[in-house]
Amino acid sequence: MALTAFTRPGRFWRGNLHTHSNLSDGALEPAEVCRRYKAEGYDFIALTDHFIGLYGYPIADTLPFRDDSFTTLLGAELHSGAMQNGELWHILAVGLPTDFAQANAPHFRPVDGQETGPEIAARAVAAGAFVAVAHPQWSGLTLADARSIEAAHAVEIYNHGCATGCDRADGFSIADLLLSEGRKLSLIATDDAHFTEPDHFGGWVMVKAEQNTPEALLAALKDGAFYATQGPELRGVMVGDKAVQVESSAVASVIVQGHGSAAVAVHGESLTRAEVPLGRFANSPWIRVTVIDRAGKRAWSNPIWL
């Protein structure tokens, strides 16, 4: 059994799914944000400005910045309703239509009469978007909060802006618990770039599709045909009866994680292929793979259901 990302036709396209411009609280104009990502070797980007009244509910028009080698996905970071800590929800929605109905979110504080977070997430999915729970650790998300977002496709498991700005980049504690409850979620790494600090070019997704078009990329994202990374390449993940075969760029550690405390690591020098035994995962309904290079940069597979 192999992950979709390594079996479907096409090639990998590098993209960032969470980015801000000066249409909300970012420092740069949309054209310059797109130019910089293209110059850094990205194949696509989603500008996801804050969809609140303070900024006029923007969905950035990035169509003029597409060309034969670079494309864009329309999207926004949606806000509505209060989490258990009393703060506003942050829901990442990529692939929104330009006429997505405005929320009742005048500013970054909850107000009476708003949709809940689960409701606006479900509305975004119904409109055709790929939806992810943004920066769980930064938001102070509880497990009860996370459980309530039933429409989400993914959890943001690494957010580079949260890493550089407050050392709260992680989403795995929430993601793993949801996986163990049977939620079929994928895992994304993003920048959440604002270009007000070194919050860019640090986490991205590699999406497998036959074409670098919004339609093909969005379909692959919804299908889980991608992996998340800070730099290392995943080149193959194959699950056999007794072991997982992992192929990658040169790394120092290959780790398989599963339900509860289940985890097995293989360490070495310049590993490009590793075999990780599955005996530890007899009671785990799912596993996922992490590779770590000598510089400490990581790549993460999507979950595999056993």
Give tens-digit pLDDT for 131-151.
999 999 999 999 999 999 999
DSSP 124: H
**Boundaries of every domain in the chain:** 4-229, 234-305
**Residue-level pLDDT at 3:** 86
Six token digits for residue 164: 């550089």
**Residue-level pLDDT at 2:** 80
For the chain, what is the largest distance between any 2 Cα atoms, rounded to a whole number of angstroms? 57
Contact indicator for 54, 23 with CB cutoff of 8 Å: no
Angle at 158 between CA 155 and CA 164, to 5 degrees: 140
Q: Which CATH code is given to the segment(s) 4-229?
A: 3.20.20.140
β-bridge mates for residue 108, sequence order = none
- Total-model pTM: 0.97
pLDDT averaged per 10 residues, the chain (length 306) = 90 98 98 98 98 98 97 98 97 98 95 96 98 98 97 98 97 97 98 98 98 98 98 97 97 98 98 97 97 98 96
234-305: CATH topology is Immunoglobulin-like (2.60.40)
